[in-house]
Amino acid sequence: MSSTAPDPSDPVTRGEEQILDHAEAVGQLRRLLRADQVVTDAAALASYAHDDAEWAPFELPLAVVLAEHDDDVVAVVRFAAASGIRIVPRGAGTGLSGGANAVARSIVLSLERMTRIVEIDAAERFAVAEAGVINDVLRQAVAEQGLWYPPDPASYRISTIGGNAATNAGGICCVKYGVTRDYVLGLRVVLADGEIVDLGRRTAKGVTGYDLTALMVGSEGTLGIITRVTVKLLPLAGREERAIVGAFGSLVAAGDAVAAISASGIVPSALEILDRTCVEAVDAWQGLGLPHGVDTLLLAKVDEVGALGERHAASVAEFMAGAGALSVEQAVEADEVDRLFMARRLAYPALERLGPVLTEDVCVPRGAVPEMLARIQAAAAEYDVVIANIAHAGDGNLHPLIIAPEGDDAAKARAKLAFDRIVDECSELGGTVTGEHGVGLLKLPGARAELSDRVLGMHSAIKQALDPNGVLNPGKAFPA
């Protein structure tokens, strides 16, 4: 349903462009919005010019716009389209692929001030939130009504629901409960011509028309700007978490345990790998009392209630032992479970303290996890770089983190070679170049190799249909 009709007198509607210089563009933005919503100071422009991806290219934007309502987004989009300016939508800027990086002659359009939880319907089990609502804020709000929003990216305490939807974010529990797309019922989207459309539904089922909601989820702001998200919720009750922790003498042995657990038919609610570099970095930073002196930790959770949960936890422990674990321990106290998995969530920022981190996001078939981990280690040795490994191992989504010392250009060059080698090895094993971070800019070469010419043509046709002038986040998500 459309809530904003095109204005035939508008230059956008007529297909005209009025090319403005920098000062004129900023001046017009300030006439459209309040002064505090248009940011142009140098420090802010530098901060908003890129996300958390290391080494992805970016330009300084003309301005940063802090939208507060749908009407703000509409006004800015229509102005940009009429002025030959590009728009880069932004949530919290926690992305790791360069998807929110500013391009030449662009406005960064931040949704961070759009923070209303519009509705929580406990009976129908859905919530409606504006794009700037923080993932954890929504999770806590629905928990007060006995409901649960499962998608939990490691950045859940700082990333936004709109950004999660734009990148189809995953998370620790997605091995069992799925990714963001599995929970998005509907979206409010501002299209490239400034028109607002409401996509999707509020009902438990619905198949009217093409699934345009699913198309928008993961499109990285290239097809429309998400301003509101309707998500389905699950009951909070009926889960009883148990953690199982295996300490291994090698990364590959931990991968063998992952393959065995996956083949057994047990579906853990989390199955995560942290190697020695990650464990020591987190503990040095936060002092969580993690075990030292082991090569790799494998963290598993099961959440079935009662005897079934006990049996599954025991089976997971047996698979770890059978793969050669040096020790296996179980935890059932909520504080202990949370402490162990907080270590996983803190791994990336802990490693950033050691130097710039180039983050991989490859995903391979679960049975190929041990082989892929071995190939990652081989790449580290071949290119003489430090690669720390964290992984959503239960679904084959691996995050090798390549660390290069600040200012060491030679190490940076070797890190890029290792990055490319890992992408190639992933493809050879039947994987995909990005499991959850998105293509952004960093994965454009890998996406080009993965997608056939015909499939790339389909992407281009969709982009042309919805954004013929290339206003929205150009150059991202798929190679042109």
Question: Is 126 in the same domain as 170?
Answer: yes
Q: Is residue 449 part of a domain?
A: no
Q: Are residues 55 and 159 in the same domain?
A: no
Co-location of 217 and 122 in the same domain: yes
Question: Residues 107, 205: one domain?
Answer: no
CATH number, domain with residue 293: 3.40.462.10
CATH number reported for the structural domain that contains residue 137 in this entry: 3.30.465.10
Structure tokens at 257: 């345990």
Alpha-carbon span 151 to 327, nearest angstrom: 30
Residue 476 lies in a domain: no
Kindly give the parts of the chain with pLDDT less than 70. Answer: 1-18
**Half-sphere exposure (CA, 13 Å, Cβ side) for 190?**
27
Instruction: Give the domain CATH number at 42.
Output: 3.30.43.10
Q: Are residues 97 and 122 in the same domain?
A: no
CA distance 198 to 1: 5
Phi and psi, residue 82, nearest 5°: -80, -10
Under 8 Å CB-to-CB from 199, ≥6 apart: which residues?
186, 187, 188, 189, 212, 213, 216
What per-residue confidence (pLDDT) applies to 9?
Answer: 38
My answer on whether 27 and 109 are in the same domain is yes
Q: Is residue 3 part of a domain?
A: no
Q: Which two tokens mark 368?
A: 């190929």
Q: Which residue has the tokens 């490994």?
A: 389
Domain check: are 124 and 101 in the same one? no
In a domain, 473, yes or no: no
Asked whether residue 23 is domain-assigned, the answer is yes
Closest CA to 80 of 223, 240, 194, 209: 194
Task: Tell me, yes or no, whether 392 and 293 share the same domain.
Answer: yes
Are residues 260 and 373 both part of a single domain?
yes
| SS3 call for 124 | coil
Q: Are residues 190 and 336 in the same domain?
A: no
pLDDT at 18: 64
In a domain, 84, yes or no: yes
Structure confidence at residue 8 (pLDDT): 37
- For residue 202, what are the domain limits? 117-235
- Is 337 found in the same domain as 365? yes
Residue 11 has what pLDDT? 41
Indicate whether 472 belongs to any domain.
Answer: no
Give the global pTM: 0.92
Number of domains observed in the structure of the chain = 3
Which of these three, 206, 235, 264, is where a domain ends?
Answer: 235
| Residue at 285 is within a domain | yes
Whether residues 283 and 231 share a domain: the answer is: no
Structure confidence by residue, pLDDT tens digits, 346-379: 999 999 888 889 999 999 999 999 999 999 999 9
